A and B are shown apart, each in its own frame.
Chain A
Amino acid sequence: MKKSILLFIALLVSFFTIDRLVYLVINQFSSRVYTGQSIGKINHFLEVKDSVDLIIFGNSRALHHVNTNLFNTNAYNIGVDGTKLAYTGALLSTLEKKDQTLLIHVDHSKLLDLNYNGDDCLGLNHLIDDYDEIKKFIAPFFLSEIVISELIKSYRFNGKVPGIFKNYFMPSYEYRNYTGYDPIYPSVAQKEIFENLLLTEKEDRINININKPLEINPLINKIIDHIINKSQENDSKIIFFTSPSLNKVDQEVKDKIEDFFLSKGVDYIDYIDFFEEFNKDYWKDFTHLSAKGADLFTEELKGKINQIK
Chain B
Amino acid sequence: MIFNSIVFLIFFVIVFILYWAIPNQKIKTQNILLLIASYVFYGWWDWRFLSLILFSTIVDYFLGIFIEKNKDNDRKAKLFLIFSLTTNLGLLGVFKYFNFFIDSWVDLWLLFGYEMSYSNLKIILPVGISFYTFQTMSYSIDIYRKQLKPTKNFIAFATFVSLFPQLVAGPIERASNLIPQILNKRTWGYEKFKNGFFQILIGFFRKVVVADSIGAFIDGTYNNPEIHNSTTIAVAVLLYSFQIYFDFSGYSDIAIGTAKLLGFDFKRNFNLPYFSSSITEFWRRWHISLSSWLKDYLYIPLGGNQHGIVKQYRNLILTMLLGGLWHGSSWNFVIWGLIHGILLAIEKKFQLIPKKYSFYNNMVIFILVSLIWIFFRALTLEDSMLILNRLFTGGYGMLYIGNINTFITLLYGLVIALCFDLFLFKKNIPLEEYGNTLKTSKFVIISNFIIVHIILFFSSASNFIYFQF
Contacts and interface: CB of A to CB of B under 8 A. Distances in A.
Contact of A18 (B404, B405, B448): B448
Interface stretch (B34-42, B224-232, B242-250): B224-232
Interface stretch (A1-9, A135-143, A287-295): A1-9
Interface in A106-154: 144, 148, 152, 154
A48 interface: no
B6 interface: yes
A47 B86 CA distance: 70
B456 A10 contact: no
Contact of A15 (B194, B228, B451): B451
Nearest to A21: B452
Contacts of A208: none
Given A158-B455, A189-B229, 19 more contacts: A1-B20, A7-B443, A8-B193, A11-B447, A11-B448, A14-B448, A18-B448, A18-B452, A19-B455, A148-B6, A155-B455, A158-B456, A159-B459, A189-B400, A190-B400, A196-B227, A197-B227, A200-B226, A200-B227
Given A11-B448, A163-B405, A154 B398 contact: no
Contact of A162 (B194, B397, B400, B412): B412
B452 A154 contact: yes
Nearest to B220: A193
A152 to B, nearest CB: 6
A233 interface: no
Contact of A14 (B228, B404, B444): B444
B104 interface: no
- Mostly helix, strand, loop or mixed at chain A's interface? helix
A116 to B, nearest CB: 15
10 contacts: A14-B444, A15-B448, A15-B451, A152-B455, A159-B456, A161-B457, A162-B404, A189-B398, A192-B398, A200-B226
B405 A162 contact: yes
A308 B231 CA distance: 49
B368 interface: no
Nearest to A188: B398
B463 interface: no
A159 B457 contact: yes
B444 A38 contact: no
B363 interface: no
A158 B458 contact: yes
A188 B397 CA distance: 9
A82 B399 CA distance: 22
Contacts of B448: 11, 14-15, 18
Interface residues on A, range: 35 or more
Contact of A7 (B188, B404, B440, B457): B440
B190 interface: yes
A159 B405 contact: yes
B455 A10 contact: no
B452 A19 contact: yes
Nearest to A10: B444
Contacts of B232: 189
Contact of B6 (A3, A144, A162, A188): A144
Interface residues of B, number: 34
B460 to A, nearest CB: 8
B87 interface: no
A154 B397 contact: no
Interface of B: 6, 20, 188, 190, 193-194, 226-229, 232, 397-400, 403-405, 408-409, 412, 440, 443-445, 447-448, 451-452, 455-459
A4 B397 CA distance: 55
B190 A4 contact: yes
Contact of B226 (A159, A190, A196): A196
Interface in A1-58: 1, 3-4, 7-8, 10-11, 14-15, 18-19, 22, 38
A166 interface: yes
A11 B448 CA distance: 7
A42 to B, nearest CB: 14
B408 A166 contact: yes
A159 B459 CA distance: 7
A187 B399 CA distance: 11
A81 B229 CA distance: 24
Nearest to B398: A189
A148 B5 CA distance: 13
B444 A11 contact: yes
Contacts of A188: 397-398
A3 B190 contact: yes
Contacts of B399: 189
A154 B455 contact: yes
A192 B397 contact: yes
A6 B457 CA distance: 28
Given A15-B451, A144-B6, A166-B408, A161 B397 contact: no
Contacts of A18: 448, 452
A283 interface: no
B101 to A, nearest CB: 29
Contacts of B440: 7, 10
B226 A162 contact: no
Contacts of B451: 15
A1 B188 contact: yes
A62 B448 CA distance: 41
A157 interface: yes
A158 B461 CA distance: 13
A160 B193 CA distance: 33
A15 B450 CA distance: 10
A292 to B, nearest CB: 21
B409 A159 contact: yes
B365 to A, nearest CB: 31
A109 to B, nearest CB: 19
Contacts of A22: 452, 456
Given A144-B6, A159-B457, A7 B226 contact: no
Contacts of B227: 193, 196-197, 200
